[in-house]
Structure formats: C-alpha cells, structure tokens
Amino acid sequence: KVGETAPEKMSAWFSLASAMMSDSDWEVADARPDASLSHRSCPWGGHLIKIDLKNLHIQGAPERASDLMVRPEVRGQHHDRFFEENKIEWQETLAPGDALVEQPSQMFILRMAALLFGNFACHGPFMQKGCLEARTFPVLARHQLRRDFPEEGDSSYAVFTSDGVGQEQMTICRNTDKHQHFRIVLVFSTPTTGSFWVDWTSPSFQMLTDTTYTVMHWYMNRPGVQQMRAIDENFYVCLALRNYNRGPPMIPDESGTTAIRANGWENSQRPRSWTRFQTGDGKFHLAEYLKCFTESLGHGIPAFDTLDGKVLVPYQCVVLRRQWESVRDYVQAALTLQRAAYRRANGGSRAPSLTEDAALRYAEGAAQLPKVNWCAGELKAPWTLEPTRVLVRKTTLECDEETNELVPVRKTKSESTTRMVAFSV
C-alpha cells in the first residue's frame, strides 16, 4: 500500500530540497535567462533532473509563495478531481497537507521525460498506451505539501508513487523581487545511469526546457486554481486550549471520581462522571485529547497536531472546519461540564477553555509527535517533573496561566518570610 511508503525515502527527498534550490553540484545541460535544465546523480540510485523556471508569472497569486500551491486533499475533492490532464482523486487524509490520492493521469512533461531519460520500453501502467499518451490504469500516490520549506516563504509539493510505479517528483516555489512572479523548480527522478548521459547537446533537451516553461505557466494559472486556494485557506480550523495550569483537563469516564450534575442534557447523553485525561508519555497534546473527548461523546472527529509538515505547539490542533462545525455546539456544551468538573477536582475559579480560529503557533525544532492511544486514568508522575525553585523576597511574582500551558503551578511557604514558587519544567 502506498501509505506504507518508507519514511526514509520521503525524508531523503525533502532533505535534498535546499540542494534543489542551489546551483552547486548540478550539471547544466541547457540554460537561457528564464529557465535551465540540469542533472545530477541521485543518492539512492539513478539520476535527478531539475528544470528551474526563474520568472514565472502567476495571475492572482498570493503574496507569499508558501500559499501558492494547494493541499492534495483539497485538490482531490474539488476542481482537480475533474481536471483530466492532471486529475487526482482524494482517497485518505493522513495529516493536513499529506494525503493518499488516485492518479489516473500523468503530466505531459513527465511522459515526455520518460522518453528522453531512458524509459524507452514504455512499460508499466504509466505508459500502457504509448509513451506520450496518458495512462488509463489508475495508481495510488502519496502527495505531501510543506509550507515555509525549505526556507521561510517557500512551498514544496512532493509526489511519492506506489510500488515504484511512475516517477517521483518535487515542485518548489519561491518568491522573486517582481510582483506575482515566482521561481518554480521541478525535480523528478529517473532510473537512467551510465553512458546515456554523454550527449546533452541534443535539441530534445532544449525542447523539454521550453515545453516545461509553457506547460508550468499554464498549470499554475489553470482554471479553478484560485477558487481552490480560497477553499484551502479555510479548509481547517485551529483550536487552542487555555487555562489548564492545575493539570490536564478532564474527560468523561463512567468510572470517574468527579460527578457533575448536567442540567438540560438528555439522561442518555450527559456525561455523569469525569476523570483526568492521561497519555502514555505523561505529556499533554490537544489533538489526542480532542479525539478522545469527542469519541467519548459519540461524535468522534479526527484532530491533527501537524499542519503542512510543521508540528504545532501541544496546546493547539487543527480539525476539518466542516467536521468541527457539525459537532461544535455539542462539544462546547460538554466542555462547560468539563470546566465544572475541573474546578471541583482542583478548586479555584479557572478551568480549561477552547478557543476557535486561534493564531497558529509551531513548536520550535520539534519532530513528528508520537501516536498515543491512552485516553483516561489517574494522573501519573511523568506529568510533573522535578521542579526548579525560585526565591522571591518582598515582592510578588505573577504568572500568566494562559501562556504557561503545559504544567501546573503551585505555591508553598518556607519557614521564613520568603515564598518559594515551584515550576515544573
């Protein structure tokens, strides 16, 4: 299954993204002021072909190249689902910007490249009716979009194919100094090695460079792309949890120890008892909490802790806006009971609350978060690590509970007149 594409292979492609935007280590085969064709050996075998389009005009383009390309799950459910030349059909969303799609067609540029770069046999599902004809046998592929990658403001779109069928490729977009003009770099793999690479003076390669510029200009300005960008902009909603400094929030649990009376709820629906939310690693992540919380209410929705290849801070997650709007009222009503249970369990007046359309915040240097399936249970020691003590004399230390989202804060008195404030870090 294409969803089982080796993570090492995908990481290898993205690790080369910066090198793809550089002229170093590439041998130029054809160049003109606005485009060039280069090649180099591929670290995992074969060759990489790079076509660098330096000043492509895109009408109605967003200000930043990071917003230029559309997520695959949006493309595969809207206009590109019916766009014959570059048709893709959405199958499954693995994460925002990471989807399985079905490809019944292959871009003409890559079919042409298959002729030039060694695939003369024209075999396999990609070339069943001839090298320059679109295939009719669909295959699964994994499409990934990463924004602000490899540099801030860039966008990178990669295609990983099923069972080695077809050519893997990556497209990178970057701003230029000219309004609505962008640098577009297309890199694809080919199994060709050896003496075939001697004669780069062939006019066929010059023709490929020219054709790619024309086709990519048409593709980036294709009908429906501006409408898809507008849909993509509001496809997900960012949720943020605040005010849970006294420990993780509560979750409905029939065996829970905190009971709350739920006025206005049907007897069969109301959560009667609550317990602390717990994860296997003792660290709180809103995506896991929201999935468990909605499942316990019988209205489970997927929630994600990554967006376009970047990891969100633990107290944020994104969900499909359409799905969130379908359960919002029910979930918010249940969260009101959760706040009451939280206050009863912890004392005080503050309790966790959920914010919609929060400004996105990304974890600094964080890797992909591990998947955890634990939902409820007693709060265990890993939640609170060894505290760091701060000595405060004759003054007041104020803590912003909304920004200290990960850990509880507790105050203790020493034997003298000073106060010790312990922070778990």
Per-residue burial over 304-334, b = 16 or more CB atoms within 10 Å of its CB, e = otherwise = bbbbbbbbbbbbbbbbbbebbeebbeebebb
The residues near 4 (Cβ < 8 Å, ≥ 6 apart) are none
- Asked if pLDDT for residue 284 goes beyond 80, the answer is yes
What are 247-283's pLDDT values in tens digits?
A: 889 888 766 555 555 444 444 455 668 888 887 777 8
What are 189-225's pLDDT values in tens digits?
A: 887 655 455 455 567 778 888 888 998 999 999 999 9
Helix, strand, or coil (residue 32): strand
Q: Cα 333–334–338 angle (5° rounding)?
A: 120
- Asked if pLDDT for residue 74 goes beyond 60, the answer is yes
Q: Find, among 186, 217, 173, 167, the residue nearest to 37 by Cα.
A: 186
Give mean pLDDT, residues 223-239: 96
The proportion of the chain whose per-residue pLDDT surpasses 70, expressed as a percent, equals: 68
* Span of 179-193, 228-242, 286-300, 324-338 with lowest mean pLDDT: 179-193
CA-CA distance, 213 to 178, in Å (whole number)?
18
- Asked if pLDDT for residue 322 goes beyond 50, the answer is yes
pLDDT category of residue 65 using cuts at 50, 70 and 90? very high
Angle, in degrees to the nearest 10, between helices 203-220 and 108-116? 170
* Helical ranges in 175-279 per DSSP H: 203-220, 225-233
Task: Write out the two tokens for 93.
Answer: 């969303």
Per-residue burial over 395-417, b = 16 or more CB atoms within 10 Å of its CB, e = otherwise = eeeeeebeeebebbeeeeeeeee
Strand partners for 274: 252, 258
CA-CA distance, 360 to 250, in Å (whole number)?
24
Amino acid at 306: T
Give mean pLDDT, residues 93-110: 83
What are 291-304's pLDDT values in tens digits?
A: 999 998 888 999 99
Q: What is the CA radius of gyration of the chain?
A: 27
CA-CA distance, 75 to 86, in Å (whole number)?
10
Question: Which pLDDT value is given to residue 172?
Answer: 98
- Asked if pLDDT for residue 355 goes beyond 80, the answer is yes
Domain boundaries, the chain: 2-71+106-233, 236-381, 384-424
Main-chain phi, psi angles of 58, to 5 degrees: -125, 115
What are 2-45's pLDDT values in tens digits?
A: 445 667 888 999 999 999 999 999 999 889 899 999 989 888 88
* Helical ranges in 16-158 per DSSP H: 17-20, 72-75, 108-116
Strand partners for 411: 421
Question: Which pLDDT value is given to residue 7?
Answer: 79
CA-CA distance, 78 to 90, in Å (whole number)?
9
Q: How far is CA 309 from CA 68, 142, 330, in A?
A: 16, 14, 30
CA-CA distance, 190 to 113, in Å (whole number)?
9
In words, the CATH class of domain 2-71+106-233 is alpha beta
Task: Write out the two tokens for 208.
Answer: 């490929």
Question: Which pLDDT value is given to residue 218?
Answer: 92
Q: How far is CA 184 from CA 22, 75, 107, 161, 264, in A?
A: 13, 19, 16, 22, 57
**Is-contact 120 140, C-beta < 8 A?**
no
CA-CA distance, 72 to 103, in Å (whole number)?
12
Strand partners for 28: 38
* Span of 167-176, 191-200, 365-374 with lowest mean pLDDT: 365-374
End-to-end Cα, the chain, rounded Å: 42
**Is-contact 49 117, C-beta < 8 A?**
yes
- Asked if pLDDT for residue 95 goes beyond 70, the answer is yes
* Span of 107-121, 153-167, 240-254, 365-379 with lowest mean pLDDT: 365-379
* Span of 149-158, 184-193, 231-240, 362-371 with lowest mean pLDDT: 362-371
State the chain's mean pLDDT as an integer. 77
Strand partners for 35: 32, 53
Question: Which pLDDT value is given to residue 179?
Answer: 94
Question: Which pLDDT value is given to residue 174?
Answer: 98
